[in-house]
Amino acid sequence: MRLAPTSLMGRTALVLILAVAVVLGTALALFVGNRGEALSAMRGRYAAERIATLVNLLEDTNPEGRRHVVRRLDTPGLRAGWGVMPLVPEPEPAPGLPTIIARKLAKELEGREIRVILAPLPPPPPLPAGPPPGPMGDRRGHGYGSGGFGLGPFVGGPALQVSVRLADDSWLNVYAPIEHSDSLWQPRFVGPLAGALVVIIVAALWAVRRATRPLASLAAAAERLGMDVNAPPLAERGPTEVRAAAQAFNVMQGRIRRFVDDRTQMLAAISHDLRTPITRMKLRAEFVDDDEQRAKMLADLDEMEHMIAATLAFARDDAAREDRRPVDLAKLVQDMAEDLGGLYDGPDTLVAAIRPLAMKRALANVIENALKYGGAARVGLRRTDGHVHVVVDDDGPGIPESEREKVFAPFVRLETSRNRDTGGTGLGLAVARAAIRAHGGDITLDNRPQGGLRVTLAFPVG
């Protein structure tokens, strides 16, 4: 399973290729088997026809001329002999080629005794001393020797042996060596087969890729939606199931967009409605005679107004709606660090496609936090593996691991370091994370071994 592909396209293609290989292998095995049977049947019918012709010819020839006829018709593929004894003993019924030849000969030579076996032919025994053989063959009566088989290299090999009793009770003995058919594994057969297999595999891969391409588009659209809720809808094309999934995705995206817009409108309305009483309260605070109380009231009202403005900006997230464009990120980071009072360490030039306003807001929040709560801000920039990493180190007490995720929640401030006296609203890291995630990246927090907090902004190069 470790070698199995992990993608849907790879697994589907593997299943199709294995199925094609199994079907093709099975068909090839059946073809080879049927081919062998067909060749055997054809050879059997051909041999039976030749034997029947030879029997009729011998019976029409006088005994003195039969030896000459047998010698003329004896060929390497069908060796014939004539004698007083059969070459084949009484055979037992055997399926296959012997049965096919026996049935064929029985039709052609009705009423004659026919014996057929498939077995190696043993070498002939040595001739005994004595006078030469008679007109019907040698003394053994099998038709060996000068008037019968010229066995040569065929002795001991697989052969079809047939004995037919003639009308005068003599026997025609036939020995037909079984020749192996040509192997199928030759260029003229393997070439077209391999070509067909390649065509099938290429067609299967093309079909699978075409069928799975909409799924890749759906995954890309889901990733794009995570960065921009106002991304264009997904094209609804492809198979029925894929079109249904794309349609459901577009409906979901529309609902999310309407939810965000409704939330933004609600917060904008609340902000507008709250500003009027805050303004009235400021005017009334001016008539308070106690200077200290008046200053505290005005400070609280200013803080409330600042929190409302920050909340509205966070909810609206105008920076996420801007388009990406190539920007010299190194210069942007360096300028932000120097303007806010931090130190920059990185390349002089690094061009990347970003949303400048969103990136400035994220960098400003992170650098200001480092200066405010860590006493310093050392900003580094580097590019590795297609990602940009902006690292901001401070000299503060750091953040416990259990609290690192909490600080990204809106309006959350750690009591030990982020209190109301600092003037923070608890939205800085939330805004920064939203901006970086809109770029397809994220923000991580780590305590440095030598002390202080390290904030890393990582996102892919656009």
Instruction: Tell me the average pLDDT across 388-401.
Output: 92
- Those residues whose C-beta lies under 8 Å from the C-beta of residue 154, and which sit 6 or more positions away, are 76, 79, 121, 175, 177
Q: Which of 113, 82, 114 is nearest to 101 (CA)?
A: 114
CB 379 within 8 A of CB 391: yes
The 10s digit of each residue's pLDDT in 131-175 is 444 433 443 344 433 334 444 444 445 778 889 998 888 898 888
pLDDT, residue 174, reads 87
Domain map (residue ranges) of the chain: 10-122+133-177, 187-282, 321-460
Find out whether 354 and 436 touch, Cβ atoms under 8 Å.
no
What is the structure's pLDDT at 3? 66
Residue 173: C-alpha distances to residues 21, 50, 442 (Å): 48, 13, 94
One fold for 187-282 and 321-460 = no
Structure tokens at 268: 């904008």
Which of 172-181, 218-227, 371-380, 415-424 ranks highest by mean pLDDT?
A: 371-380
pLDDT score of 392: 95
Q: Model-level pTM? A: 0.49
Annotate 218-245 with three-state secondary structure: HHHHHHHHHHCCCCCCCCCCCCHHHHHH
Q: Taking the CB of residue 107, how many other CB atoms lie within 10 A of it?
A: 9
Token pair 């609600």: residue: 266
What pLDDT sits at residue 381?
A: 94
Least confident of 26-35, 95-104, 151-160: 151-160
Backbone angles phi, psi at 79, to 5 degrees: -90, 130
pLDDT higher than 50, residue 442: yes
Q: What is the pLDDT of residue 331?
A: 93
Residue pLDDT, tens place only, 329-369:
999 999 999 999 999 999 999 999 888 888 998 999 899 99
Tell me, what's the pLDDT at 443?
93
Q: Is 70 exceeded by the pLDDT of residue 376?
A: yes
User: Given this model, what pLDDT does residue 134 score?
Assistant: 40
Q: What is the pLDDT of residues 64-82, one digit of tens each?
A: 888 888 888 777 777 888 8
Task: State the DSSP string of 170-203.
Answer: -EEEEEEE-PPPPPS-SHHHHHHHHHHHHHHHHH
Percent of the chain past pLDDT 90, that is, above it, reads 13
Distance CA(148)–CA(151), nearest Å, equals 9
Six token digits for residue 3: 């070698």
pLDDT at 154: 42
Stated as kind and residue range, the H or E segment containing 425 is none
Spatial distance between the Cα atoms of 462 and 353, rounded to a whole number of angstroms: 5
Reading the block at residue 138, the tokens are 């040698």
Is residue 309 over pLDDT 80?
no
Q: What is the pLDDT of residue 143?
A: 43
Compute the average pLDDT of residues 81-103.
Answer: 79
Tens-place pLDDT, residues 249-298: 889 988 888 887 777 777 777 777 888 888 888 888 888 888 888 888 88
Spelled out in words, what is the top-level CATH class assigned to the domain 187-282? mainly alpha
Confidence at residue 421, expressed as pLDDT on a 0 to 100 scale: 52
- Name, in order, each residue with C-beta under 8 angstroms of 146's C-beta and a sequence gap of 6 or more: 133, 138
Q: How many CB atoms lie within 10 A of CB 292?
A: 8
DSSP reduced 3-state for 88: coil
CATH of domain 321-460: 3.30.565.10
CA-to-CA dists, residue 66 to 51, 339, 365, angstroms: 14, 123, 118
431 vs 426: CA distance, rounded Å: 10
What percentage of the chain has pLDDT greater than the value 70?
A: 82
pLDDT, averaged across the chain: 78
